[in-house]
Structure 1
Amino acid sequence: MPYGLVMGASGDIGEAICRRLAANGWSLYCHYYQNEEKVLNFVSDLRSHYPQQDFFVVSLDMLKESEITGFLTQLFQVDAVIFSAGHTVYDLLTEVSSEAIDALWQVHVKTPLLLLQQLQGKLSAGKQGRVIFIGSVYGHRGSSMETVYSAVKGAQEAFVKAYAKEVATLGITVNAVAPGAVDTRMNQEWTEEEQAELLAKIPMNRLAKPAEIAAACSYLCSPEASYTTGIILPVTGGWME
């Protein structure tokens, strides 16, 4: 039975990924830092639906490197890591604080790399390891008012392409899913006017559903994807592509 670690399981996309992988027969480590109650509730649901699989709830503040060692001791078999944790900052570059820049870099790039340094051995054990970053269309197209977020998402894409080459002979694939606008809590703060303006730019004229991002992860975690590595898979409804 494969075991996956989903970082950011408390988010809407993270939860959707957990539910899809569980349906595919995966046991999971469901990571959170905030929204503990939400994670405990859906993990309880998964345990009742899939009693033959294991579901663990694990916590880590991704801003605190000192907690990484203790976090890793909770993980045994790991066949896939999906990095879905993260946040953005809406502001002009001239208004973004140094602390905010550090936090975006730490959560989206540095901590994932530190985790992979320690998890590579586990991922290579079965010669079918999977690493997936939930990136963003902004990582390769960029967005004003989210310049730092665009930068760290671009860094994820560059890392994916490089690390995929480094670990290919170990049987580990490394890919990124790059969503466009997704119907999550993070995007519910938009006004009706802002939503209408965005939808007008999307050829499919709607936001993505978290389950559609999870479906892309499902493929990349599947045995059929063993020859797919180093790619950035846009799930954007045709927006900005």
Structure 2
Amino acid sequence: MTNERQGSSARLSPYCALVTGASRGIGAAVARRMAREGAGVIVHYHRSRERAEAVAAECLSLGAPFAEVAAADVRLSSDIAALKRALEHAGRMPDILVHAAGTAHYGLLEDLEEDEWDDIQHVHLKAAYGLAKRFGPTMSWRRHGRIVHVSSVWGVVGAAGEAAYSAAKGGLNGLTKALAREMAFAGVTVNAVAPGLVETDMLAELDRSELEELREAVPMKRFADPDEVAELVRFLTLGDAGYITGQIIGLTGGWRM
């Protein structure tokens, strides 16, 4: 992962990948995919330590040279600063940063409380700002690095009943493009993947009829698997993707073309 183009078989060893929200869902799938590619992995979690430790154990079994868990509330700048100090002290400053932590809220805007709005913005957008601010300068100084934000198709087209989530992901897309311009001089790429519906526990609040209606709207008649999102993230971290930056890349099964 340098300014020189690497071969298509290039692996991520011996790089270090920090994956936020890696105790479950897309984040866990990304952590495992990074491990299979040979990267060391920092499995970030907020509250689910046991699940994070299980993911770290999987990463080690898949070939990661190291896999460690790290707790932080990414909504808080102080927690991100503490995380940076801990990783710096351990010699684990990431070459790859994947921000997959997230949460959702379903309901009309008129029923959305201000603290709920703020929470969604903080976990998706403010966290991305804090992570880039703390870890981006080291990547620039090293003249290599990959930042990938897990966004959403709703950040591109909007979703009724998910105004806060759509706004946060739309802001994340704008931040992705701005950071890409700022960091391109150092050979650091910044991209976002924007999946449609993915088979994770974030769909738990939808009932069967709602899920079936959404599935029927997808040309491929199915939702994405977290591993498919992880595979796209993996590609964006390889040397062959070194000329791809500032892009919001959809993964929607044809739902949005």
> TM > 0.5 between the two?
yes
Give the aligned residue type for 1:98.
E
Alignment match, 1:32: 45
Q: Does 1:57 align with 2:69?
A: yes
> How much has 1:90 moved relative to structure 2?
0.6
User: Is residue 73 of structure 1 aligned with residue 73 of structure 2?
Assistant: no
Is residue 2:176 matched to residue 1:160? yes
Two-structure CA RMSD over aligned residues (Å) = 1.3
The corresponding residue for 2:56 is 43
2:226 matched to 1:210? yes
User: Number of paired residues?
Assistant: 240
Partner of 1:198: 214
Structure 2: unaligned runs, 5 residues or longer: 1-13
* Equivalent in 126, 129, 132 of residue 148 of structure 2: 132
1:239 aligns with 255
Q: CA deviation at 1:199?
A: 1.2
**Do structure 1's residue 123 and structure 2's residue 132 form an aligned pair?**
no
- Normalised by the length of structure 1, the TM-score is 0.95
Which amino acid in the other structure matches residue 82 of structure 2?
G
Contact 2:35 2:62 in 1 (8 A): no
> Is 1:184 aligned with 2:196?
no
Deviation at 1:143, TM superposition (A): 0.3
Distance 2:246 2:177 in 1: 5
Q: Does 1:17 align with 2:17?
A: no
Query: What is the aligned-residue identity percentage?
Result: 35
| Alpha-carbon distance between aligned partners in 2 of 1:125 and 1:28, rounded to the nearest angstrom | 21
Unpaired segments ≥5 residues, structure 1? none
1:40-70 deviations in whole A, cap 9, x for unaligned? 112112223426x011100101233332221
CA shift, 1:120, in A, is 1.6
List per-residue Cα deviations over 1:112-150 (Å, max 9, x = no partner).
Answer: 212211212221244221011000000010000001110
CA contact (8 A) 1:128 1:226 kept: no
Q: 4+ residue stretches of structure 1 with deviation over 3 A?
A: none
Q: CA deviation at 1:38?
A: 1.2
Matched, 1:225 2:241: yes
Structure-2 separation of matches of 1:237 and 1:155 = 23
Over residues 154-206 of structure 1, what are the superposed CA-to-partner deviations in whole Å (9 max), with x where a residue is unaligned?
00111111110111011100000000000111113432211211111000000
Q: Contact 1:11/1:85 (CA < 8 Å) preserved in 2?
A: no
Instruction: Report deviation, 1:14.
Output: 0.5
